[in-house]
Structure 1
């Protein structure tokens, strides 16, 4: 992630094209910085071509009268004067291989005894740059300037073949764009600027030559002035002379003219501007904590417990799985004067379960820009646009709705999607019950006196209707909350002492032969094969308990159950509760066939008993390693809701899927019976386009090696449904379950949840927060380390990955968790 120092101003230099004078103007900046008394560092991450033509050598050659104050380095050097990706392919496939170590220049070694090295990844390149910047910051205590010069244009390839604008994005360094002064340069410069802008770069300035024929500088100065971006116009260099000595003299004279010792002119004006931008950025970050405390009302935060600036988590940027956190308001001592004001922090909650592909994924940001540019937003009633139509067809035909759904209602977030689902289910139930109500008016039964059947610990969102579909727990409720329904206390699953344990509520345990509240039902693959467990004794116990309760519930009181609403497999906000899938499967089957609801049984292909809603806002779309939890339960819902991962965490969007029998309850010629629900941003084109792009990427990832390796670790075979697995290592999970501080651990897909031993306070507890507090700070004296931003649910701490979190990063996080819980043993 990014670095930021009080005393070291760093700028990355991008070019709008090749041959635009990027190195020449960077040399002018370095020379000017040295003349103002600054220590200067120049870094060329990747260089191709002969050493004598290398950019870092050019900087040394024209460093000027204070050359000793300029340090010029290169990290990866290749002799072939071609694009970096091609040079790397050729040299890494030959006997001649580059050798790189940390922040030192690579060297060529021509010997058969040296093993061929793989092409450095983007991560290796970025880490080497970041490490070098930190080394430079530690090497000086005086104010210094640093320039990191890229190769070619903004989209020129890196060593790995990805474009450098994407590869360098995790560094998030403020940028200087060198404009193109040649024919077509206006378009090239603006296009480069927009490419940087879409990816979130801070463009502090543009530099361009004063070429008098095309006069691009005039147009660019006007264009960028409207965007409050400084444009420095510099005289062009003299033509290159064939005689090397004369050319050297001519070039040196040129630098004396544009970077005079009097420290006057556009280059020095630009230096002042860059210094001011650097200071302004630090000043703004420094004031954000108090400004936040003064003006922001946070969600799910007791402000009475957060009163100090150090408790405000200021996020400067985010990339991949990490935030860049400002720490200047936390550490302010002379000993830390050379420390970065930004520190990396792993997004351990996947930003409230939304992240699927990491922050600022370039393909998703481009998809958003594509739809925003084409549509902006357009109203949707009786309308259609391709992003929405393609998303609906994808989800219904080949996605989580495959085989049962026929309609998609597109809204804006999970809570709204659940409100839509509840309206669908309650109307469908009401239509079938209408004749019964007309015959029972004297009993006081009315169509609006409806409730839902669910599980204790469930949570479906913060809108009033969604809250009413949850028990009155006192946590996610408010003065308007009116719990409408009945909620079963469900059996749960966890790993204790490396064994899978099913914990039964006392009322269910009393019906078993042993009366035990904890039983071992076998391996994880066996427990999550709900279909194969339907003939077990435990399934019979569940059926008996559920049927008896349904008879009791429906025979008393005025509330009429009208829908079954479940968070399948895992109930998230209630405490990462892993429910026994057999109980949920039996519950669905019982509701659909119970005599309590027999009058609503209809023909095949239509819902029966009660409409069944699956809230897969959290659990759906591979968060748990499977596209839909129906793969575990072995049964389809009548209505389901997907959100969060749906758009990769970039923009809000939700989709409620249902079948024709539910849709029919709203179908007719009377508008009053239509689903009169919507909001201004229904089927938001930007969200739909991003969702389509997200699903396309995930589908490809699901077939990749990373997922295959994780499945293999959990001994999952492709012909072995259900394929329950996790990105977390099974050996780590087993060891964690034996830890004295951990009462229970459970994992599936990206999710890891651990319950603190000996704490029964539940959501009101602070035990998990206190026990794991040390994770938030990066390990000292380890540049590769990062803090972990995790969330707790009372006595439960959970950690969540993206679907593409690298395995080595997962192992690092596992190690940090282990060291925090078992410090005496490491």
Structure 2
């Protein structure tokens, strides 16, 4: 029996309408920016396998480090115990984050990293005897699929079955020079009730790679600080070089109180989430009253293998080769943007760092459920390129090791697709 037949008998895939979806592609091997199916066909991974694979598939250094760790310690409960990989990773990560980030809490994915961040901020005010019931977030945001993360994400067809279960959120638009004054007014009017403000910095990924400018965000964050609103910066997607710098925070003067990480954290090798916070928040949980404890955890919290993979990935990220590759991709994207930006089928093209997004013109406008999505997905897959269009928006978000030849092949096929659809 083939892998596809075995899959069809047993598997329910994410974000998949199985009634009409094409069969999944069986992948048996990955190397660098390439994936190979069971027949030996090669596919360029243009989206880093859902934005996680920083340095390429089966990266030798990460593999070596994880294999060595597996022989020493595979797993240990993290309540009441600790281990070297978790400590070393926390030290390494805090060393490259904004200075006020001083404590690390481990989880297992981006959504749970966000859940912890929200619970930290809500309980911070509870522990101080000043309960606050609302959260501030951006329209069109996406922070995960668990209930807290859904609550602070933009309301959409994805969340509509659960709307009655989601908690109250004050939604605002992303900041521009034109709307900053109005946004500040909204924040000030709700400030006494706001537990926190959660936001994707610079790029709203799942919304269609929507991008906005750092100076406007900086001014909004400064206003939040002035009003005493805690800030959660969700860098699950933007972290570890995606924006051209190690973190989107590196573009900002005003730094957050809490930060969330996952996706590229382990270089795409295994699940791990991290929530970091400042000492002000951590100290609000220090008490002789046990009820002021942060009651959150997972069986695989700070798994030694995942921590080892993340530590190895950060080491690779900070090396000259990775940093030069990031800038090479940024430069290539900028050149390609200039070449295609005036094409008659393009509604918009935008770029931040290693992320470039091309929005096709459609009669129905931008929509995740655009019929163009499947046409473009099939077109690129048939050409040996893994793309995952967000409706009528395609994007390139490659592993940093991708070759210029593969980048140019992707660009070439985008030009061809623009002439067909």
The alignment's TM-score, normalised by the length of structure 2, stands at 0.93
The residue that corresponds to 1:814 in the other structure is: 411
Provide the secondary structure at the position in 2 that maps to 1:817: helix
Partners of 1:772 and 1:820 within 8 A in 2: no
Q: Which has the higher contact order (CA 8 A, sep 6+)?
A: 2
Partners of 2:333 and 2:354 within 8 A in 1: no
The residue that corresponds to 1:770 in the other structure is: 375
- Listed one character per residue, the Cα deviations across residues 439-494 of structure 1 (whole Å, up to 9, x for unaligned) are xxxxxxxx3x6121010111111111111222322324543641421111225xxx
Partners of 2:113 and 2:275 within 8 A in 1: yes
The counterpart of 1:392, out of the listed 65, 78, 90, is: 90
Shift of 1:788: 0.6
Judging changes above 3 Å, is the alpha-carbon distance between structure 1 residues 574 and 481 closer, same or farther for their aligned structure 2 residues?
Answer: farther
Judging changes above 3 Å, is the alpha-carbon distance between structure 1 residues 394 and 469 closer, same or farther for their aligned structure 2 residues?
Answer: same
Provide the secondary structure at the position in 2 that maps to 1:419: helix
The counterpart of 1:736, out of the listed 321, 328, 340, is: 340
The residue that corresponds to 2:30 in the other structure is: 318
Please give the alpha-carbon distance, in whole angstroms, between the structure 2 residues aligned to 1:701 and 1:305: 46
1:626 aligned onto 2:269 = no
The residue that corresponds to 2:75 in the other structure is: 377
Partners of 2:377 and 2:388 within 8 A in 1: no
The residue that corresponds to 1:414 in the other structure is: 110
The residue that corresponds to 1:796 in the other structure is: 393
1:302 aligned onto 2:17 = yes
The residue that corresponds to 1:700 in the other structure is: 319
Partners of 1:414 and 1:654 within 8 A in 2: yes
- Listed one character per residue, the Cα deviations across residues 122-151 of structure 1 (whole Å, up to 9, x for unaligned) are xxxxxxxxxxxxxxxxxxxxxxxxxxxxxx
The counterpart of 1:747, out of the listed 351, 362, 365, is: 351
Please give the alpha-carbon distance, in whole angstroms, between the structure 2 residues aligned to 1:562 and 1:350: 34
Judging changes above 3 Å, is the alpha-carbon distance between structure 1 residues 691 and 583 closer, same or farther for their aligned structure 2 residues?
Answer: same
- Listed one character per residue, the Cα deviations across residues 217-276 of structure 1 (whole Å, up to 9, x for unaligned) are xxxxxxxxxxxxxxxxxxxxxxxxxxxxxxxxxxxxxxxxxxxxxxxxxxxxxxxxxxxx
Shift of 1:705: 4.8
The residue that corresponds to 2:196 in the other structure is: 563
Provide the secondary structure at the position in 2 that maps to 1:303: coil
The residue that corresponds to 1:39 in the other structure is: none
The counterpart of 2:277, out of the listed 658, 666, 669, is: 658
- CA RMSD of superposed structures (Å): 2.2
The counterpart of 2:99, out of the listed 396, 403, 406, is: 403
Please give the alpha-carbon distance, in whole angstroms, between the structure 2 residues aligned to 1:403 and 1:389: 17
Shift of 1:704: 5.7
The residue that corresponds to 1:427 in the other structure is: 123
- Listed one character per residue, the Cα deviations across residues 492-547 of structure 1 (whole Å, up to 9, x for unaligned) are xxxxxxxxxxxx6xxxxxxxxxxxxxxxxxxxxxxxxxxxxxxxxx3xx4442123
Partners of 1:750 and 1:802 within 8 A in 2: no
Partners of 1:570 and 1:576 within 8 A in 2: yes
The residue that corresponds to 1:11 in the other structure is: none
Provide the secondary structure at the position in 2 that maps to 1:763: coil
The residue that corresponds to 1:345 in the other structure is: 43
The residue that corresponds to 1:585 in the other structure is: 218
Partners of 2:106 and 2:274 within 8 A in 1: yes
Partners of 2:110 and 2:261 within 8 A in 1: yes
Shift of 1:567: 0.5
Q: Structure 2: any 5+ residue segments left out of the alignment?
A: none
Aligned length: 419
The residue that corresponds to 1:667 in the other structure is: 286
The counterpart of 1:550, out of the listed 187, 191, 196, is: 187
Partners of 1:471 and 1:485 within 8 A in 2: no
Please give the alpha-carbon distance, in whole angstroms, between the structure 1 residues aligned to 2:350 and 2:13: 29
Partners of 2:241 and 2:326 within 8 A in 1: no
